[in-house]
Chains A and B, each alone.
Chain A
């Protein structure tokens, strides 16, 4: 007679060294489906030659200790989050085969969002969904898949659909999504079905190995302990009660029509170029400030208030000054003016918020009305006199009136009103116009308007 050698699959560890005790047996109860499913997976890992590349995600539930058994990469995760953690793995490791192993509480209750969206994105993973119609680990509470009338610890009078809803059919739901490649429901309550489950698991893992995408295998599985049934009675219960409600079938199989997809990662030579950080040379010294400039620039939206603030900050930066730029932010934005705060200082900038500016550049009347009073005594207010038909009321500040809109318009570029204003400001400070020209050169998006802008700057600097 031929000798038959029964041995454990090489997909399992020889001894379950991570267990505290009984390192040769699993922690599963007699008659439980998890052990059978584990065995089918372990064999598939070896037979498909994917053991090294496989990452098993252990959920929360009776299979929380899957990592005791599988001789592959193991990650234990929070309740319901296996598909999200698996997403992190499959995105980080192109070569990995990810198995998200989950119970019905894990997948169909607390982790509903995670499974739907991992499926919808078509993550490269194989989901093994063990539906035993009960919460096993916590002692037998209702699962979303518990049957109508089923007595559990939390439905002592039987599950009432009017108050607890109907048992949820996940394979049906998942198969309505476009991305999943393969969705099948199988069972492990008898030999014939175990063999079908074996096929389904292998097929799903092959899908992943071939780079086709997401597979979902729902496995109807007996839980004699929590259902308070003898193992054989539990098998009958699965056959007679569960399977009529959860039909065993292939819900979706698009294996033959899908093409493999392996992610491509862009390569680069100069990372600074890719992320847009130039190599600049600082121009030291020629920008001399008598005092720190605390500037508020204000106008209506579209007048280029924010961008002119940025240009001033840019000029300051290239001259090695400490600068900051802050857009009007927070509740003050409600005011209807666009305004920004610009610091150009010779030492580290304190508050980026300028409550007491020494420079106000007012581009419209609302701005002058709003900010005239906050300028410090001795400060300077630059007024766009084309749009502001009154004088500054205070006599303890300096004033500079510039018909900026008119100048810009007469030069044929109304949009450069802001350039007229900041050119006037810089000229007032006796700052070399070339600095502004350089700044406009580097920040102007419409390069065809560059010459016009330079012309305008020259005009402002040559007038008196």
Chain B
């Protein structure tokens, strides 16, 4: 069994290699640098390319160029760098190119600090760059997820010709846990992929063209309609979430990433005290598991949903849109890199639900 104790950040790189990714373009930023360091170590050993770009803007455009050639390619960064990448992400979405972008979040706005926060939700889950596009966002909560969702991310990216985010935080990245890697036969997998759209510097692919500019409004609308059709398909097929102790719950916590892990422990404590509270952990933040959440709230007669996030309350908008006033929705949050202790979270939950 291919099982090892490994840091989430390293698991991403090794999983990417096993998934046939051979190209990494990035610019250093804490707390995402570890991914770059690991990629710099391993990519050349498997015949791949690691390149430290002059900026995140350049890095994402290198990703664009490589992806246009049909190879699996990735980059990783954190808030300030993701802000810079947004232009490129919009172009990649517009030109319908696949790639994996890792965001290991830190605290903001501005330079903020390097500690864990989830304040990038809006800029990543809601699009972030210009234009009518969406990006599938996978939110791992363990080192195993970091491995699995990296591979899944590449698959979704290829299947739908779209950039995909692996959206994580310093805790999930720094944590060491057992990870079972997949058994794959790798023979430079990325080189074997053949797409009818790819640029490959050959006679057969000579007529191919990668672009996002369409001059006529009707033509551009057509492209946009095609994109929306694709997003609809992704919503139908790729929405993922996980529940914990929701069976006879009166209350729900919605949390992702490190918060979902903290919440799990708090839920065990509260259940010991007889409080029926469960966890909904969105695995895909876009597409958000709206229907599942709505059904759970309706079917279980949930009276109160608590959204626990390390931000000013960004995912809570999606939760509100999902439950459509079927229950009370409130926020439990910290910002700036503060990760609250178990006792603080439990107290906050109790004080919110005590009135019911």
Contact = CB atoms under 8 A, between A and B. Distances in A.
A326 B3 contact: no
Interface stretch (A81-89, A179-187, A403-411, A448-456): A81-89
B46 A275 contact: yes
A277 interface: yes
B88 A88 contact: no
Given A88-B62, A266-B45, A71 B200 contact: no
B223 interface: no
B122 interface: no
A77 interface: yes
Given A67-B209, A78-B91, A310-B176, A117 B171 contact: no
Given A72-B206, A91-B49, A277-B2, A324 B175 contact: yes
A5 interface: no
Interface residues of B, number: 82
Contacts of B44: 266
Nearest to B198: A73
Interface string B176-199: 111001000010000000000001
Contacts of A277: 2, 4, 14, 181
B262 A268 contact: no
Contacts of A54: 201
B91 A330 contact: no
Contacts of A18: 209
Interface string A106-118: 0000000110110
Nearest to B201: A96
Interface string A188-218: 0000000000000000000000000000000
Given A55-B199, A277-B14, A324-B176, A74 B45 contact: no
Contact of B261 (A89, A310, A323, A350): A350
Contacts of A317: 3, 5, 178
Contacts, number: 241
Contact of A326 (B59, B65, B174, B178): B174
A224 interface: no
A163 interface: no
B51 to A, nearest CB: 7
A271 B170 CA distance: 28
Interface in B235-284: 258, 261-262, 264-268
Contacts of B318: none
Given A89-B69, A324-B177, A355 B341 contact: yes
B212 interface: yes
B177 A85 contact: no
B315 interface: no
Given A75-B199, A75-B211, A310-B176, A350 B65 contact: no
Contacts of B208: 73-74
B5 A352 contact: no
Contacts of A351: 261-262, 264-266, 342
B163 interface: no
Given A67-B209, A77-B91, A84-B61, A271 B171 contact: no
Interface string A60-100: 00001101000111111110010011111101110111000
A143 interface: no
Contacts of B133: none
A272 interface: yes
A140 to B, nearest CB: 20
Interface in A261-284: 265-268, 271-272, 274-282
Interface string A314-330: 10010000111111011
Contacts of A302: none
Contacts of B342: 351, 353, 355-356
Given A20-B219, A277-B2, A324-B142, 13 more contacts: A20-B216, A85-B62, A89-B199, A92-B66, A113-B58, A114-B58, A275-B46, A280-B2, A313-B177, A323-B178, A331-B338, A351-B265, A352-B171
27 contacts: A20-B215, A67-B209, A71-B206, A74-B199, A74-B210, A75-B64, A76-B95, A76-B209, A78-B61, A81-B57, A86-B65, A87-B58, A88-B25, A88-B61, A88-B73, A92-B71, A93-B199, A272-B2, A276-B14, A277-B4, A310-B176, A317-B3, A330-B115, A349-B261, A352-B261, A353-B262, A353-B342
Q: Which 6 A-B pairs have the closest CB atoms?
A: A88-B65, A350-B265, A265-B47, A85-B65, A84-B61, A350-B264
